[in-house]
């Protein structure tokens, strides 16, 4: 998993991560957050470690970059991604390439540049820019996983509680919309964009 900010992975694909951990207990996970400082760094680490508590082999990496400035530190960010080539994952979850946030777009671009032969699913992050699209890959979530995702977000990111959009209603609504689109039995899903799939 590769996210730009401390809560991006959990917002975009937290339910999917929980489902993978539940269904595949022998997973090896590398969790990468490129920007997090001060309390956001502590939140990023605590959240990742809590979500990955049942995973025997996992690594949490938090980059040194400044939120909102990734494109302006492009060479250093590219060098950071070069260091990730030591990991050879079966699946990568990262940002949607057409996301309106500059940090999200750069993380997506460098993920594709770094991992050219891998299965990459791009997750979506709701925001004021209104950049949600028509995803073509869905992971259905049962109601317990949907609830666990929301509870995890609200517990582990107290620095975001003052933001009007950081609410249980928003997170549940996103999963409900994608659940409706994918005809999920319990009504919940997370959605991704899949540019290339090789079987």
111-167, pLDDT tens digit by residue?
Answer: 999 999 999 999 999 999 999 999 999 999 999 999 999 999 999 999 999 999 999
The reported pLDDT for the residue numbered 199 is: 75
Q: Note whether residue 24 is domain-resident.
A: yes
Instruction: Tell which residue, 2, 11, 8, 15, has the closest CA to residue 140.
Output: 15
Q: Cβ atoms within 10 A of the Cβ of 84, count? A: 17
The reported pLDDT for the residue numbered 120 is: 98
Residue 183, φ and ψ in degrees, nearest 5: 55, 45
Confirm if 140 and 15 have CB atoms less than 8 A apart.
no
The helix-helix angle for 39-51 and 143-156 (nearest 10°) equals: 150
Confirm if 51 and 17 have CB atoms less than 8 A apart.
yes
The reported pLDDT for the residue numbered 61 is: 97
Domain that holds residue 187: 2-193
Q: Note whether residue 16 is domain-resident.
A: yes
Task: Tell me the pTM.
Answer: 0.97
Residue ranges of the chain whose pLDDT lies below 70: none
Question: What is the biggest distance separating any 2 CA atoms in the chain, rounded to whole angstroms?
Answer: 45
Cα separation of 167 and 26, whole Å? 32
Number of domains in the chain: 1
Per residue in 116-144, is it b (16+ CB within 10 Å) or e — as a string? Answer: eebebbbbbbeeeeeebeebebbbbbbee
Q: Cβ atoms within 10 A of the Cβ of 69, count? A: 13
Q: Note whether residue 198 is domain-resident.
A: no
Cα separation of 123 and 108, whole Å? 10
Q: Note whether residue 199 is domain-resident.
A: no
* Alpha-carbon 185 to chain mean position: 23
CATH number at residue 90: 3.40.50.10320
DSSP run (H or E) holding 65: strand 57-65
């Amino acid at each position: 998993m590769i996210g730009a900010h401390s809560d991006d992975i959990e917002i975009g694909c937290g339910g999917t991560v929980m489902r993978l951990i539940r269904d595949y207990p022998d997973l090896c996970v590398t969790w990468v957050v490129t920007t997090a400082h001060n309390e956001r760094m502590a939140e990023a680490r605590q959240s990742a470690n809590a979500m990955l508590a049942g995973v025997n082999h996992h690594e949490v990496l938090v980059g040194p970059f400044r939120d909102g400035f990734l494109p302006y530190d492009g060479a250093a960010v590219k060098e950071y991604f070069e260091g990730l080539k030591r990991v050879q994952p079966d699946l990568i979850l990262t940002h949607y390439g057409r996301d309106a946030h500059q940090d999200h777009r750069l993380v997506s671009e460098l993920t594709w540049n770094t991992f050219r032969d891998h299965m990459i699913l791009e997750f979506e992050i709701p925001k004021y820019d209104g950049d949600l699209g028509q995803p073509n890959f869905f992971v259905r979530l049962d109601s317990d996983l949907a609830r666990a995702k929301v509870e995890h977000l609200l517990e582990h990111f107290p620095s975001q509680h003052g933001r009007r959009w950081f609410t249980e209603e928003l997170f549940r609504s996103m999963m409900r919309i994608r659940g409706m689109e994918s005809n999920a039995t319990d009504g919940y899903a997370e959605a991704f964009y899949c540019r290339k799939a090789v079987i």
